[in-house]
Amino acid sequence: MKRLFLVSLLFSTQALGGDFKGDLDRDADRIRVDHPEIAARVDGMSPLKNRAGMLAFPGGDLVDPRAQVLIQDRLLDGGDDALVRTALAYALDDAHRIPWAVAAELEPKVRAALISGYKKAGDADALAAFESALQDESLVVRVEAARLIGYRPDLVSETLLQGLASALSDQEADVRRFGVRSVSWRQDPGGFDRVEPLLGDASAQVRGAAVRALGKLDRERAAALPELQALSSDADPRVKRSLKRVLSP
Amino acid sequence: MQATRFSNILCLSLSLALIGCSEKGEDGLVAPPMLGSDTGEPGEGPPIQGDSIVLETTRGPIYADYLDFGEFPGLVGVPNLDDDDEDGQSDWNQSGDVSGDNDFALATLQTQDRAVRLELSGAAGIRIYDGSGMIMGDSAGSTYEVMSGSGDVDLRVEYADFMLQGTLQIEDVERGESFDVALTASPLLFNHHLQASKETMSVSVNGPGYSNADMMGDYEAALGDDFFAASGGDYEYDVWIQDEIEFGYATSPDAHLNVIFDMLRDRGLDDFAEDFYEKPGWIIVNWGDFWASSLDAGGNFEVSPPVTVDGVHYPYGRVYYGGAPGYQPGGATQDAVESFQVQKPFMPDSTWLCVGHVDEFTTTIPDPTAPKGFRFVISDTRSGWEVLEGMDHSTALPKYSPGGYAGHSLDSVGEMLEDTALINVNEEVQDILDEQEALFREELGLDDEDILYIPSLFEEVDECGGTVAALIPGMANLVVADVEDQPTIFLADPFLRSDVSDQSTDAMIAEVRARFPESLDLVFMDDWDVYHMMLGEVHCGSNVNRSAPRTWWEDAGHLISQEGGR
């Protein structure tokens, strides 16, 4: 168990700095020689569909640090299609998140999946990942970044806050919706004023998120807003639900 | 006793009908009541028949002075859509020429040796045969005259589809008297959890890091021969058997048709229904254009136990399937289910879930002590948090600790309690659950004492648009099946403990046991790797066929609109 921990620490430390790809290739080669059974498992495994129809690689054995390294290796070098590589990305635990500089070179769907590695883990590397992902050219990446940054109120920088502000005016409703939510979850200073204009958003989902977010940021102030009260005639159930939370005694 | 004699006589007299009377007592079916039984079918008993023209049916006699059994729904039957002679053709398409066909509504016309004129009206898709063949319907026309001196005539009525309605007018030519007999085909009915289970099924998988052998073992130990597992290798390791099929039936006093609604999802288990149930007495149906969303799955198609709502009694419960404006199960499916009328469907919102199925947050369980005989179970995050708060916050959670597809990257109870994002997610989920509970209260006529809250927590699912799935294995996603005639609950082990091998130390299990009726045994099963981490739980990975009550013509006619056969 102790040895496993040391191996894990070694690999995960390598994963966070230096020549990641070179180190990974070397580590993967060594594991394939020393543990052919693990290599056979990871290299030979096929994804299964979860109940929602998304590809996945279930199995508790895959959290073995050696298996994790081989999953990293297969993800970056295995030649699988983007859907399979997306599933491989979600098979990685926090300690084996892919450095964003490496992830940024991958397809949008895979990049979006790799952001989840920073949902709970990382410091400076996580900050850099979110700063970049919030400004990503790909919609799917921006959506995931806007959603997951709400889980990381500890990450703060001027660039990140600018990215989050731009998420609120993103052309895509999902980015705005998650951006609004993340601002409230993070309780960022000035968040109320930035979210308030989205009460008039064209998307009902965004309006509903804005109502809920304002209530979370300052319920009393939100309840007094004429723009918010005016939404009581909004027919969308998501808006109604949020209004009920904010306006109920 | 009198009823039994009548039934036997009727069967014997219908030798040309090729009816297998033993079929009517098929194991697991609830036999239809007969005239004179304790069920107290209409009236005080028929007046003297004298020399009236009589149509004898399994329910009882129909004649001009006694029309109780002739009134809607009258002479009821099942659609003859199975393939009793296994020749690859629907029996309906063979116009009565099927060896062993046992799907007719049966009657004997007692003519008193007088001429009788018969006239069939109403929907197309109804045929009537006598011993010589088809006499009415299709190319045989709509009228037929039985010549005087013909004696009694055995009739068989055949239906082409569910819910067809017609009228048979029977005229005593000599006396110029006539009476009408309603003809009605059974609706398609779907099973609910208060019906006794006949067989429970799952899909077994056993590969590296991916095995449900323990869960299969638990099922086998409890249910014995009433359980079977299909091999995952035969079905692309598609374990979601709840989503693939829904068991239903059509029934009548003379015939019973088992029905499988073969869902449009068409994944690895697509051939399961054909492999196991394509046989005489069964049909496999679905509706639509074969494009399916996740909402077109059996886990998103549930049936409540019998309820009374706003004074309307639904003796077979109500169907519910999840959806929301713009994202719903297929329109053709909805149209079909609505057309069966008896289990009037309604639509809660399930679209806040990644998979989007109603069985992820609701179910029903039998409870003889409950006012309605059942409890409506709904997920509840408030009590989920309460259970956690009551635990030692340092309790390690080895099942939850790993990342990837193995766990939830949560090491302890305290880490869950301090996770503000998790709290935020569940706050919004609870708002939705409260809304949905209100809807179920309205649609099922539920009161406070009917509802059982099951402690739950949800988490967002990556790659799923901010929708959620169970964080603590979803225990509302349970199976009700009978062990030695006693309803037993099979549900997910929540693993909210340090020693994963010792369920007795699990505070969540203790809480759920305390909330459930004492009359129910609870079997907590390890569904973690194969189901829970793949966004499903025990119910998703199981299916149950159940015994079918055979009484709709007595207790559900008020739910069916009369088309007017004449």
For residue B277, the domain's CATH number is 3.75.10.10
Chain A residue with CA closest to B468: the answer is: A52
What would you report as the CA-atom Rg of chain B, rounded to the nearest whole angstrom?
27
Residue A47 covered by a domain:
yes
Which tens digit of pLDDT belongs to each residue from B470-479?
999 999 999 9
Which tens digit of pLDDT belongs to each residue from A137-149?
999 999 999 999 9
Domain boundary among B165, B186, B207: B186
Set of chain A residues whose Cβ sits within 8 Å of the Cβ of B418? none
Same domain, B243 and B109: no
Please name the member of B349, B356, B406 whose beta carbon is closest to the beta carbon of A60.
B406
Same domain, B136 and B211: no
Predicted local confidence at residue B175, as pLDDT: 95
Predicted local confidence at residue B254, as pLDDT: 97
Give yes or no: B540 in active site. Answer: yes
Sign, CA dihedral B407-B411-B414-B418, equals: negative
Measured CA angle at B162 (ends B160, B166), to 5 deg: 70
Q: How far is CA B513 from CA B320, B495, B521, in A?
A: 27, 14, 9
Cβ pairs bridging A and B (under 8 Å): 114
Residue B558 covered by a domain:
no
Q: Are A103 and A114 in contact (CB under 8 A)?
A: yes
Residue A240 covered by a domain:
no
**Total number of domains in chain B:** 2
Q: Give ipTM to 2 decimals.
A: 0.92
Q: How far is CA B325 from CA A23, A238, B552, in A?
A: 51, 11, 33
Residue A71 covered by a domain:
yes
Residue A50 covered by a domain:
yes
A52/B535 Cβ within 8 A: yes
Domain holding A48, by residue range, is 1-96
Same domain, B126 and B238: no
pLDDT average, residue stretch A68-96: 97
Q: Catalytic residue among B11, B21, B354, B540, which?
A: B540
Domain boundary among B167, B186, B205: B186
Helix (H) or strand (E) holding A217: helix A204-224
Same domain, B403 and B472: yes
B424 lies within 8 A of chain A by CB: yes
Residue for token digits 């990503």?
Answer: A136
B209 lies within 8 A of chain A by CB: yes
User: Which B positions 295-354 lie with beta carbon below 8 A of chain A?
Assistant: 299, 324, 349, 354
Is the predicted pLDDT of residue A177 greater than 60, yes or no?
yes
Same domain, B233 and B147: no
Residue B565 covered by a domain:
no
**Total number of domains in chain A:** 1
Same domain, B157 and B268: no
Same domain, B162 and B281: no
The secondary structure of residue B345, as a DSSP letter, is -
Which tens digit of pLDDT belongs to each residue from A96-149?
999 999 999 999 999 999 999 999 999 999 999 999 999 999 999 999 999 999
Predicted local confidence at residue B310, as pLDDT: 97
Q: By percentage, how much of chain A surpasses pLDDT 70? A: 93
B355/A51 Cβ within 8 A: yes
In whole angstroms, give the CA distance from residue A167 to residue A129: 15
A61/B466 Cβ within 8 A: no
B420 lies within 8 A of chain A by CB: yes
Residue B552 covered by a domain:
no
Same domain, B166 and B197: no
Domain boundary among B140, B170, B186: B186
Same domain, B80 and B202: no
Residue for token digits 């496999």?
Answer: B284
- Return averaged pLDDT per consecutive 10 residues of chain B, 566 residues in all: 34 35 40 41 72 96 96 98 96 94 97 98 95 94 96 98 97 96 98 98 93 98 98 97 97 98 92 97 90 91 98 98 94 95 98 98 97 98 98 98 96 98 97 97 98 98 95 98 96 98 98 97 97 98 97 97 68
Coil vs helix vs strand at B320: strand
In whole angstroms, give the CA distance from residue A20 to residue A97: 11
In whole angstroms, give the CA distance from residue A164 to residue A176: 9
Residue A85 covered by a domain:
yes
The secondary structure of residue A235, as a DSSP letter, is -
Set of chain B residues whose Cβ sits within 8 Å of the Cβ of A90? 404-405, 462-463
Residue B511 covered by a domain:
yes
DSSP assignment of A111-145 equals: HHHHHGGGSS--SHHHHHHHHHHTT-SSHHHHHHH
Is the predicted pLDDT of residue A15 greater than 80, yes or no?
no
Residue B561 covered by a domain:
no
Tokens describing residue A5: 């921990």
Same domain, B28 and B136: yes
Bridging pattern class, strands B153-159 and B126-130: antiparallel
Same domain, B25 and B128: yes
Residue A174 covered by a domain:
no
Predicted local confidence at residue B43, as pLDDT: 53
Same domain, B165 and B266: no
Residue B451 covered by a domain:
yes
Nearest Cα to Cα of residue B78 among B19, B162, B21: B162
Domain holding B517, by residue range, is 190-545
Predicted local confidence at residue A78, as pLDDT: 87
